[in-house]
């Protein structure tokens, strides 16, 4: 009989077939922690980086964006949607479950550090922008108009359309270009400026409490680690190294 590596409980036939741990979430969590720490050690050795354990692990979602040309019909659909917004006094906006955070704006340094984490992920959360018209709503357009003195609401649609990139990430928000979002921050919906996945929150906590601005960002999908990067202040070291 085989027992669980962590709690020593006898494993069922199914658990034995799947590996060396039982189905208890604590054992699964421990297994994942050890797997991630082992991967961090391996990556640090391969990159000749000392003190791997000083880089806290932040797991982010998998996303492999592919650029496609902006289709005229997609542009037209967005134009129709924006025209609809400016004539509506009220818009429902985004589902509250996606509005995870609405804290104060970050300092430029913090924004830059968090941008490095999102760059490793390559913008998974902007995938949701496809089905939500970049999360734009009446309130966002009004805020933009109010901040830009002299701008008329009727001019807003063409300004937003002018920012569309020639190529965007397939199946994602039309504003997700090769280097990420092409909309200036003041034109983005609140959720775009405030959303944080779990991995980004982990990294933020570290950046907020430590001057070294370190993190080990891991892209994990379907129980497998696919790629990673050490963030060390403004520098970033990918593992496996990028071609
Ligand atoms: S918030 Fe999370 S999911 Fe979104 S781009 Fe950043 S790391 Fe990726
Ligand atoms: S507007 Fe920008 S930040 Fe918002 S979903 Fe689209 S690409 Fe992402």
Cα gap 213→152, rounded to integer Å: 42
Measuring from atom 4 of ligand 1, which residue has the nearest CA? Answer: 125
Using a 10 angstrom Cβ sphere, with 0-12 exposed, 13-18 middle and 19 or more buried, the burial of residue 58 is: buried
Atom in ligand 2 nearest the alpha carbon of residue 132 = 5
3-state secondary structure of 87: helix
| pLDDT at residue number 223 | 85
| pLDDT at residue number 228 | 97
| Domain positions in the chain | 67-119+127-194
3-state secondary structure of 75: helix
Atom in ligand 1 nearest the alpha carbon of residue 123 = 5
3-state secondary structure of 221: strand
| pLDDT at residue number 89 | 63
Q: How far is the CA of 196 from the centre of ligand 2 (A)?
A: 13
- For 16-45, the pLDDT digits (tens) are 888 888 888 898 899 999 999 999 999 999
Measuring from atom 2 of ligand 1, which residue has the nearest CA? Answer: 197
Instruction: Answer whether 197 contacts ligand 1 (Cβ < 6 A).
Output: yes
Q: Which residues of the chain carry a pLDDT beneath 50?
A: 91, 93-102
Measuring from atom 1 of ligand 2, which residue has the nearest CA? Answer: 134
- For 34-86, the pLDDT digits (tens) are 999 999 999 999 999 999 999 999 999 999 999 999 999 999 999 999 999 98
Answer yes or no: are the C-beta atoms of 63 and 122 closer than 8 Å.
yes
Task: State the DSSP string of 55-74.
Answer: S-EEEE------EEEPPHHH
């Amino acid at each position: 009989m085989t027992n669980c590596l962590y709690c020593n409980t006898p494993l069922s036939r199914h658990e034995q077939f799947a590996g060396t741990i039982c189905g208890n979430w604590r054992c699964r969590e421990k297994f994942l922690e050890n797997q991630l720490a082992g991967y961090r050690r391996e990556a640090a050795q391969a990159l000749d980086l000392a003190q791997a354990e000083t880089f806290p692990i932040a797991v982010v979602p998998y996303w492999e964006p592919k650029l496609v040309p902006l289709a005229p019909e997609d542009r037209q659909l967005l134009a129709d949607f924006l025209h609809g917004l400016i004539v509506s006094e009220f818009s429902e906006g985004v589902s509250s479950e996606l509005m995870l955070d609405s804290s104060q704006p970050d300092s430029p340094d913090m924004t830059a550090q968090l941008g490095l984490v999102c760059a490793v992920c390559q913008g998974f959360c902007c995938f949701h922008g496809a089905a939500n018209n970049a999360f734009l709503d009446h309130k966002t357009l009004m805020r933009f108009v109010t901040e830009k003195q002299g701008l008329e609401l009727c001019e807003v649609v063409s300004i937003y359309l002018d920012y569309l990139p020639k190529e965007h990430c397939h199946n994602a928000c039309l504003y997700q270009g090769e280097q990420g979002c092409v909309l200036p921050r003041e034109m983005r919906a609140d959720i775009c400026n405030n959303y944080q996945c779990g991995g980004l929150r982990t990294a933020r906590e570290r950046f907020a409490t430590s001057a070294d601005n370190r993190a080990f960002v891991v892209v994990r999908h379907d129980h497998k680690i696919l790629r990673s990067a050490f963030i060390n202040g403004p520098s970033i070291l990918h593992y496996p190294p990028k071609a």
